[in-house]
Each structure stands twice: as C-alpha cells, then as structure tokens.
Structure 1
C-alpha cells in the first residue's frame, strides 16, 4: 500500500461529499491579512511617504517611483533618508534602483544588489 493510500485511509476512494468548497473571497481576504503584499507607489512630495512607511511597518514590500524628483533634489534626499530609517527600524532593507525607483523591504527581507543573469 502506497503512502497516499495510507493517508487517504484505504484505497484512496473519495466521494464528492468528502470535499469542502472554498469561498475564494474568504481565501483572498485571509491571505491578504496574513501574507506580505507588494505595493507600487509614486512619491510626488513628502506626504506620499506616510503610506509607504505604514506599509513597511505592516510588513509589506514597496516599490516607489521617484521620477518626479531629480536625485540631486534635497527633497528626495530627505525622503530617502526617512525611508532608510524606517528600513533600519524594522530590520528590513532599502535600495535605490537607478534614478527612478526605491525598493523598500520589510522585516527579514534583503534586496540583492546583483542582477540575475
């Protein structure tokens, strides 16, 4: 007798009554509450940082578009410093990808600095 037969309790024969129909809405809601999500954000000004910080504190991953600012802009420097502090506080990670994106990872997630080849 195979392992699956033992687990299923005999010959592995099941009827429709042995299964439970899952409600996909309940599954999606439960999954969103317990798992990490990836958020896409745009940073236009300092106020856009608040929901990004909240998401990272909640354990979510954020990819933020900073194309509205030049990398030499003092505002973007301040924003990056603020988000770097958040990443350090939660033991996460932050990486700037080119001149247009920030990747902010939550607790326990490191962002590789090497491209996949």
Structure 2
C-alpha cells in the first residue's frame, strides 16, 4: 500500500495524539498509575507539588520509563498506528482519522491560546 502525503499527515497527527493521550491526558491516568510512584513535596511557597517517578524494578520500571518519555512512547505509538493501518485499514481508519482530527485540533488550540488569548 502506497503512503501518500495526506496519508502520512493523517498517520502523523494520529500518532501525535495517541502519544499525548498515553503520556499526558487525565483520561488515561489509570493506564500509567501502576508504573509510577507518587511523590509529594512542599515547595518554597508552601505549596504541595506532586511528582511521578517510575517504579524501581522489573517490567513496571521499564513501562514507567517508557510512559514518562514522550519520544519513546511516540515511537511505539507510531508503530502501532502504522501497523493497524497496514493490517486492517477498514477497521483502523476511523480510529486513526479521529485521532488525527483530535491531534490537529490540539495543535490549533495551542495557537489560539498562545496568539489570540494572550
């Protein structure tokens, strides 16, 4: 199957959005939480700051390090998106398209927040 520029763009945007979903979004916190220890510290202003550190050993450590690295998770998210696209384009295309549209929307929202609402 040939990848056109528009296919490449859609796959890229969906990979971007899937990566953000896995690494940062609140809705997928339940996926990340088994792989991290939550550390709370009081800062100079007396406010409590929460940090998430990968577990210390084994598979949980590996997954915690993977999920704390945007670049690392991005490679696996891209591999998953491309594999789904090639293996089952009929079933994966709607999911990929939804992720791509959400990815573009998040990029546009950044520009709106940065340039218009400043």
Q: TM-score, normalised by structure 1?
A: 0.25
Larger radius of gyration: 1
Higher normalized helix content (fraction of residues): 2
Higher relative contact order (CA 8 A, sep 6+): 2
| Structure-2-length-normalised TM-score | 0.25
Q: In proportion to residue count, which structure has more strand? A: 1
